[in-house]
Amino acid sequence: MNKDKIDLKSLTQEQLEEFFSEFGKEKYRVKQILRWIYQRHVTDFEQMTDLAKQFRSQLEERAYISSWQPEVVETSSDGTRKYLFRLADGESVEAVRIPMDEGRATLCISTQVGCAMGCQFCMTGKFGLARNLRSEEIVNQVCAALQDGPITNIVLMGMGEPLHNLDHVVTALKIFYLDDGLGYGTRRVTLSTCGLVPEIKELSQRIKVHLAVSLNATTDELRNQLMPVNQRYPLAELMSACRDYALTTKQRVTFEYILIGGVNDSITDAKRLVKLLHGVRCKVNLIAYNEHEGAEFKAPAEESIKAFQSHLLQRDIVATLRASKGQDISAACGQLKGKQVDKPAT
């Protein structure tokens, strides 16, 4: 029944102002709507009592406000929660709520149904790409998860490559940042990419967001094998783009490095990584590979992890080790969509 109506969750503040101008309404009405939608979680125009009744009726004729509820919620022994959302076309995506210290929580959200990048260590890529998520589908993951409590940070590193869906992602980021809406500052949102160089450059010109780059190898030969995107945008081009991004945005770039046992976790790899990062304002987030059923790779040994991190720290590179959470519900890094959920029968 909403086929010919516009979803207000798909619109930025500027787009809402343009939409409301068609009704002859003042710009401040947009802030009222934003507060109703994102702070009070109201989806029925009739409940928006500070809007004139005629205006509410006009909105009802032209627009609607989507709302999501997860089809399945799984809770890990460590408190991590994985949400599966069924989309209108029968496809599904997942988001993960990760508990942090002092009552904080990070939400990892998806930007595509599946992924086209084909990284060898990632379960999501095994299913290929079905389609991009629309901006409101990205935003609704956050809105739905907020019903379980506050979310401190958002990371776009669930299913999909965010920069492969750049327009909808930029729109969603603008919605996240709205002071009268969800109110997330740019420091509280991170976008993770496998390294689409032209889009990294475009992103720096369009909107501010903390950038995380999935690196995972220190030679083109190995990265070509692990991440096919490297065949198109090799390390020299990627590192140049990252240097420029840090300079343009005045933000430190995070490099994610998944340590795979016997593949990229040696001290020799660590030495090459130090050289590779020279001149880039950055930090390194080390992630131990999460094994899964049928995986061709192995998790690194504990001593290899410690030695790798220690080598970076001794060279004055900020290197943190991400604690892996949610493995028992296939919610850890690289595991989303690991358990295929069939579409409901029609």
Residue 78: phi and psi, rounded to 5, are -95, 5
Question: In this structure, are residues 175 and 135 in contact, taking their beta carbons and an 8 Å threshold?
Answer: yes
What is the pLDDT at residue 342? 47
What is the pLDDT at residue 214? 97
Question: Do 6-64 and 96-326 share a fold?
Answer: no
Model pTM score: 0.92
Q: What is the CATH number of domain 96-326?
A: 3.20.20.70
CB atoms within 10 A of CB 86: 17
Alpha carbon of 48 to those of 54, 68, 89, 308: distances in Å? 12, 20, 30, 56
Q: DSSP letters along 265-327, please?
A: -SHHHHHHHHHHTTT--EEEEEEE----TT-SS-PPPHHHHHHHHHHHHHTT--EEEPPP--G
Domain spans of the chain, in order of start:
6-64, 96-326
Residues designated catalytic:
94, 333
User: How many Å apart are CA 250 and CA 268, to the nearest integer?
Assistant: 31
Q: Which CATH class is domain 6-64?
A: mainly alpha
Q: Which DSSP symbol is given to 146?
A: G
What is the pLDDT at residue 31? 94
Give all strands of the β-sheet with 72-75 in edge-to-edge order.
72-75, 81-86, 92-99, 105-109, 153-156, 189-193, 210-214, 253-259, 282-288, 319-321
- Residues of the chain with pLDDT below 50 are 326, 331, 334, 338, 340-346
Dihedral, 220, 222, 228, 229 alpha carbons, nearest 10: -40
